[in-house]
């Protein structure tokens, strides 16, 4: 996931339209004991508002030193402290079980294989106390959208990038003109449910957007809240 260092300078422009998720995750955090754990914390886009508005300690984990440097700078400017840790979210480990782990911004789609995702879900389950929650969101795969974007050149801020859809690997590659590349692997509803099953977590809710509308056949986003059973 080192390609994220190359995306750090343009991340603000890339994430500028991602705002509706913040209040959703803040609400979950307000109901949880501290610390809250955020996987793929990035520049602190969600973690900083959580810390500022709930006053709770946030542990943010990311594999990109450049993203973590941005998060530290932004947290300082916002007058909050984040417990930021460089690491692979597949190796999640906490000192004591927590009541909430979140992974916003479709970041779980950057895990390339079932094995990677299963490892992550099992680590999350081991890190939650009984009754604890795991919340994340991800695109619903749409072949029509993938085909539309395949090979298209677009811009993030003033930096050009190209999208490439690789059907054989169920993957989208996003490559900047400056060289860095990141990839997304699509995950179906059945696969998400399978990951919950093998990790021992249970679905508390599946929404179709951050306003908690029901998930249905027209939904373009998975918004999951899972819970670790109390017994």
User: Per-residue DSSP letters for 168-196?
Assistant: GGTEEEEEETTS-EEEEE---HHHHHHHH
Mean pLDDT of the chain: 94
Residue 33 confidence class, pLDDT cut points 50, 70, 90: very high
User: By the 8 A CB rule, do 225 and 133 touch?
Assistant: yes
- Report the predicted TM-score, pTM, of the whole model to 2 decimal places: 0.95
Tell me the pLDDT tens digit for each residue of 9-27: 888 888 888 899 999 999 9
Which of these, 50, 51, 58, 70, lies nearest to 8 by C-alpha position?
A: 70
Q: How far is CA 184 from CA 36, 87, 89, 122, in A?
A: 25, 19, 16, 21
**How long, in residues, is the chain?**
231
User: By the 8 A CB rule, do 207 and 215 touch?
Assistant: yes
User: Domain residues of the chain, as ranges?
Assistant: 3-139+186-227
SS3 category, 44: coil
- Pick among 1.10.10.10, 3.30.470.30, 3.40.50.150, 1.20.1090.10: CATH of 3-139+186-227: 3.40.50.150
SS3 category, 207: strand
* Mean local confidence (pLDDT), 72-98: 97
Residue 159 confidence class, pLDDT cut points 50, 70, 90: confident
Q: How far apart are CA 132 and CA 101, in angstroms?
A: 8
Tell me the pLDDT tens digit for each residue of 160-208: 999 999 999 999 999 998 889 999 999 999 999 999 999 999 999 999 9
């Amino acid at each position: 996931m080192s390609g994220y260092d190359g995306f750090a300078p343009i991340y603000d422009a890339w994430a500028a339209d991602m705002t509706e998720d913040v209040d959703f995750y803040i609400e979950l955090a307000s109901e949880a004991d501290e610390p809250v754990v955020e996987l793929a914390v990035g520049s602190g886009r969600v973690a900083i508002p959580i810390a500022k508005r709930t006053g709770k300690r946030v542990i943010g984990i990311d594999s990109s030193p450049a993203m973590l440097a941005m998060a530290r700078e932004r947290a300082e400017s916002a007058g909050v402290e984040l417990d930021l840790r460089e690491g692979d979210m597949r190796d999640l480990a906490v000192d004591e079980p927590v009541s909430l782990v979140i992974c916003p911004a479709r970041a779980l789609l950057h895990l390339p294989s079932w094995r990677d995702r299963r490892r992550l879900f099992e680590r999350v389950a081991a890190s939650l106390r009984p009754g604890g929650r795991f919340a994340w969101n991800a695109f619903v795969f749409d072949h029509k959208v993938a085909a539309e974007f395949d090979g298209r050149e677009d811009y993030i801020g003033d930096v050009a990038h190209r999208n490439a859809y690789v059907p054989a690997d169920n993957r989208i590659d996003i490559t900047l003109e400056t060289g860095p590349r990141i990839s997304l692997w699509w995950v179906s509803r059945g696969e998400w449910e399978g990951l919950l099953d093998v990790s021992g977590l249970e679905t508390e809710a599946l929404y179709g957007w951050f306003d908690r509308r029901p998930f249905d056949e027209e939904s373009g986003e998975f918004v999951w809240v899972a819970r670790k059973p109390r017994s």
